[in-house]
Structure formats: C-alpha cells, structure tokens
C-alpha cells in the first residue's frame, strides 16, 4: 500500500474498491482496459462502453490559483482534464471516434461562482472543438451543475463518455504476452496540438503532489481545500508557493509550481487513432498509466512479469515531489506516471512505426521495457537510476 498517499486520504491501489467489485461481470472482453457491453442498439457485430471519471482533486488547485491570482483559466483547463481521463481510457480499448459526453459539476456556490462554471463549460466546448479539428469527434450532450455545499467544499468536475464500436475493433489487454515490448509515450514536453508545454502530471496523484509541494500558507488561508480527517502535520507540508519556479528539464521549460501542477492532462487520442489505422492486429494491449502509475499494467494479463528498464528522464515536477523527502522513490512509481502516461504492447518489429506516429505530433516515444513470463500473480520490476524496485 502507498503510505504517503494513503495518509492523505487517497489510495493508488484502491484495494478496498477492487474487493467491492471483484464479483461484478467484467463484460464481453474480460481483459479489456474498460468494461465492454452489448450494443444498446442490438447489433451483434457492435458493442459499447460507458466510462465515468474526472479532474479529481486538481479542482482544489484551480480554486487556489483563482483565489490567489483572480485568473479563471485554471477552471477552463479542468474541463480538458475531465474529458481526457475518460477519452484516453476508452482509446485503450480501440475506440477512436463517435464519442458522446455528458458533464457533472458539483460545487459549493458560496465559494465557486457562475464565472467559474462558465469557464469550465467554455473549456469543454474549446477542447471538443480542438479534438474535432484533429478528427476525434466528441458530441457534448449536456450536463448537470449541482449546488452541493453540504458535501463539497469547493468543486468537483466530472464527466461521462459513451462510445459504440465494432467488436472486431476491440483491443483486449488480455492479449499482452511474453516477448512483447512496452512502447511508452511521454507525458511531458509539448505536443503539436497543445497550446503550451506540459509538465506531465495528468490528473492522478494530485492530492499527494499538492500537499507534498505546497506551503503551510495554503492550509491556513484555504482550509476548505483539504479534509479535516487528514493528520494536520501532513497538510501542505512543502516549501513552495504557486508562483515559485521549477527548473527546466525532460523537455519541459521553466514553469511555476502552480502551472506545473495544473498542466492540462495530455490526450494521446490522435496518436492512437493513427497507430490503429495502420493495423490493429499488431497491437496486443494499450494501457493508460493513471491510478497506480507505473504499476497499472499489473492488473492486465496473466502470468506476466512487466520489466521497465528504460524509462524517460523524470520530469522536474516529479523530481520536486520526490525531493520533499515525504514519499519514497518506490512509492513515487505507484502514485505518479513518472514520465509516460500511455503504454502500447506489441512485437519489437512493430515498435518503430508506433514511435514514428508519436513523433509526427511532437510527442517522444520509445521502448521502455518488455514482458516476460512469471509463475503466479503478475509482477512489475522497475529499474531506474541504478536502483531496482519490485512490486
């Protein structure tokens, strides 16, 4: 279990949740990244997926930045976080178009006014328009804004995405096999379709990132941004304020801490669409390294040992979190993506074309590891900076 993360009221492994759902039907493709169901339209050659996720506790950071600077742009970017956390899970099953999205915003209206809601909705519209220009079609079907101040101290930004697809097009991670290589796609730098450089953080581990980096100043000024169930000594225990600078590195220019933490979650949808258009049969699995970080792969396939021995240089934001000393290097890999947030599994001969597809969009990609057989439960080995971590 992830100790530092758990002490802040969050779990990267979600063991209790997994136990709660372990007897639920896994759908038409038991090894798929998302649950696949029968086609609601009744076509036996088609299937569907309905996925719900959101920006998580990143919204607390947007709230702080707005209160500190008067800038509503952080709220705008939360919409992208909310959509991408669904969209990029669904591309892992091979869906590349025909997405339908509904959003849900839960807010405390005493603290989050209509201007913030307007910025979020404009963010949804703006991101969907940008995806349309890249031929990733998403239809915005509407949504709900609920004033739930008794439950929410600031706001929650969630969405749900639905898609239909041909059964023959489904990518099933149950097909990952010994001998496969792991092609990782960088989470940092700047894709050609991004408006600004990306720190790589995505929308996972933000509870840990926020409290391990930011100063006690924010605990005193904005107590509404954390739970009173957390040990006070763990709350905002870092050395930074949001306008402090982080150094450049790993393809990321110098950024403020606030901008790095709020960096919009990158979508890999255009890249994956192009890769699948070149041939689906060569792709054995696609994994979105979200909850669980570099250990996400452990939940897929059987009797597999995932070895990651050629990871990307660690982006500056993750280095700063590690330098806090409040989280171990071992735990960092189980909470954060640490430099790549998407993995595609294939034979080594097919890896160059995947890497080239990413390069066309300005995204770095490379073989970060391989898969071998093991006895018993799946396991992960990570080798980085001369150290080895076994999970």
Give pLDDT, residue 1: 42
Q: All domains of the chain, ordered by start, with CATH?
A: 3-390 (3.90.650.10)
pLDDT at 11 over 80: no
Residues 364 and 251: their CA atoms lie apart, in Å, by 9
pLDDT at 3 over 80: no
SS3 of residue 350 by DSSP? helix
pLDDT at 42 over 70: yes
Residues 116 and 110: their CA atoms lie apart, in Å, by 12
Q: How many H-runs (helices) and E-runs (strands) does the chain carry?
A: 12, 14
Mean pLDDT throughout 58-83? 95
pLDDT at 22 over 80: no
pTM of the model: 0.93
Residues 88 and 265: their CA atoms lie apart, in Å, by 10
Q: Is 103 exposed, middle or buried (0-12, 13-18, 19+ CB in 10 A)?
A: buried
pLDDT at 68 over 60: yes
Percent of all residues in the chain with a pLDDT value above 70, rounded to a whole number: 94
Give pLDDT, residue 6: 66
Token duo for residue 329: 């290097």
DSSP one-letter string for 67-97: HHH---HHHHHHHHHHHHHHHHHHGGGT--S
Q: Is 192 exposed, middle or buried (0-12, 13-18, 19+ CB in 10 A)?
A: exposed
Mean pLDDT throughout 25-54? 96
Q: How many CA atoms lie within 13 A of 146 on its CB side?
A: 14
Residues 58 and 36: their CA atoms lie apart, in Å, by 28
Residues 362 and 189: their CA atoms lie apart, in Å, by 8
Give pLDDT, residue 142: 87
Say if residues 322 and 332 touch (Cβ distance below 8 Å): yes
Give pLDDT, residue 250: 85
How far, CA to CA in Å, does 227 sit from each of 110, 205, 219, 324?
Answer: 18, 16, 10, 21
Tens digit of each residue's pLDDT (9 = 90 or more) over 340-354: 999 999 999 999 999
Tens digit of each residue's pLDDT (9 = 90 or more) over 154-185: 999 999 999 999 999 999 999 999 999 999 99
pLDDT at 39 over 70: yes
Q: Smallest Cα–Cα separation from 369: which of 297, 272, 269? A: 297
Mean pLDDT throughout 40-51? 98
Residues 68 and 71: their CA atoms lie apart, in Å, by 8
Residues 382 and 209: their CA atoms lie apart, in Å, by 21
């Amino acid at each position: 279990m992830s100790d530092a993360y758990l002490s802040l009221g969050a779990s990267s492994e979600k063991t209790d949740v997994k136990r709660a759902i372990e007897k639920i039907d896994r759908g038409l493709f038991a090894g798929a990244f998302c649950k696949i169901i029968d086609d609601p339209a009744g076509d036996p050659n088609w299937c569907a997926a309905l996925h719900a996720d959101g920006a998580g506790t990143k919204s607390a950071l947007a709230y702080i930045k707005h209160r500190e600077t008067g800038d509503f742009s952080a709220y705008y970017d939360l919409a992208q976080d909310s959509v991408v956390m669904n969209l990029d899970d669904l591309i892992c099953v091979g869906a590349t178009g025909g997405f339908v999205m509904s959003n849900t915003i839960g807010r405390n209206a005493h603290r989050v006014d209509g201007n913030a809601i307007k910025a979020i909705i404009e963010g949804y519209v703006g991101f969907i328009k940008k995806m349309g220009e890249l031929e990733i079609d998403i239809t915005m079907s509407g949504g709900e804004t609920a004033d739930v101040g008794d439950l929410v101290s600031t706001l929650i930004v969630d969405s749900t995405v639905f898609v239909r697809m041909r059964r023959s097009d489904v990518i099933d991670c149950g097909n990952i096999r010994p001998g496969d290589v792991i092609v990782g796609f960088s989470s940092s730098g700047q894709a050609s379709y991004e408006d600004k450089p990306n720190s790589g953080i995505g929308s996972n581990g933000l509870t840990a990132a926020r409290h391990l980096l930011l100063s006690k100043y924010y605990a005193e000024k904005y107590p509404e941004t954390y739970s009173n169930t957390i040990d006070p000594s763990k709350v905002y225990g870092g050395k930074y304020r949001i306008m402090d600078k982080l150094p450049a590195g790993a393809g990321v220019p110098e950024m403020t801490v606030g901008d790095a933490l709020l960096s919009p979650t990158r979508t890999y949808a255009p890249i994956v669409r192009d890769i699948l258009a070149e041939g689906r049969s060569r792709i054995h699995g696609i994994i979105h390294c979200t909850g669980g970080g570099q250990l996400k792969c452990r939940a897929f396939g059987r009797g597999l040992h995932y070895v990651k021995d050629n990871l990307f240089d660690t982006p500056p934001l993750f280095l700063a979190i590690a330098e806090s000393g409040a989280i171990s290097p071992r735990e960092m890999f189980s909470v954060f993506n640490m430099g790549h947030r998407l993995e595609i599994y294939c034979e080594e001969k097919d890896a160059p074309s995947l890497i080239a597809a990413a390069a066309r969009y300005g995204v770095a990609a490379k073989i970060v590891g391989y898969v071998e057989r093991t006895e018993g439960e799946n396991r992960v080995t990570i080798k980085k900076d001369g150290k080895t971590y076994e999970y």
